[in-house]
């Protein structure tokens, strides 16, 4: 296993209907931008989409984390990365958020918000074939 340093940079919140009158209409779609360092290689301009599945509770149920895009094609640990990305997103938006803290809302609609907040995390990823980067 190799260690990757992930540097989360921003969230672009495309849309979010939070605590909608009908749970089936609640949703969220956003893009998280980040960079990554593995050994002596730097990958910048990376991103991935994060979504709340329709009809689920944003605060208590897992978010869907899409595929990485922007130039990295090496081995990947999607499950661990998804947990890191979800934690980063929720640190900015929601009842525990410091970017937008939402509590007790009945029908909140947000569109085209950008949150810039640098956060570093480590990610264990499988070694590339041959064990070297």
In the chain, domain spans: 2-125
pLDDT value for 56: 76
Is 50 in contact with 30 (CB distance < 8 Å)?
A: yes
Report the range out of 11-15, 16-20, 28-32, 91-95 with the highest average pLDDT: 28-32
- Using alpha carbons only, how large is the chain's radius of gyration in Å? 16
The b/e string for 76-94 (b: 16+ C-beta within 10 A; e otherwise) is ebeeebbbbbbebbebbbb
Question: What does the DSSP 8-state code read for residue 23?
Answer: G
- 39: region left, alpha or beta (phi > 0 left; psi from -120 to 50 alpha): left
Q: Which two tokens stand for residue 111?
A: 């569109």
d(CA 75, CA 119): 22
Does the pTM of the predicted model rise above 0.85? no
Report pLDDT for 41.
95
Stretch 24-46: mean pLDDT, rounded? Answer: 88
Which pLDDT score, from 0 to 100, does residue 132 have? 47
The mean predicted confidence, pLDDT, of the chain is 81
> For the chain, what percent of residues have pLDDT higher than 70?
71
- Determine the pLDDT at residue 119: 97
pLDDT, tens digit, 9 for 90 and up, residues 78-119: 999 999 999 998 888 766 655 555 555 556 666 677 889 999
List of residues 6+ apart from 43 with CB closer than 8 A: 35, 36, 37, 70, 71, 72
């Amino acid at each position: 296993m190799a260690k990757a340093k992930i540097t989360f940079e921003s969230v672009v919140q495309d849309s979010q209907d939070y605590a909608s009158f009908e749970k089936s209409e609640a949703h969220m779609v956003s893009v998280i931008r980040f960079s990554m360092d593995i050994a002596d290689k730097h990958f910048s301009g990376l991103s991935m989409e994060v979504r709340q599945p329709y009809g689920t509770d944003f605060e208590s149920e897992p978010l869907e984390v899409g595929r990485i895009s922007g130039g990295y094609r090496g081995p990947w640990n999607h499950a661990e990365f998804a947990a890191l990305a979800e934690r980063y997103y929720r640190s900015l938006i929601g009842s525990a958020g410091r970017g937008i803290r939402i509590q007790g809302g009945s029908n909140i609609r947000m569109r085209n918000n950008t949150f810039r907040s640098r956060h570093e995390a480590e990610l264990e990823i499988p070694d590339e074939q041959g064990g070297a980067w």
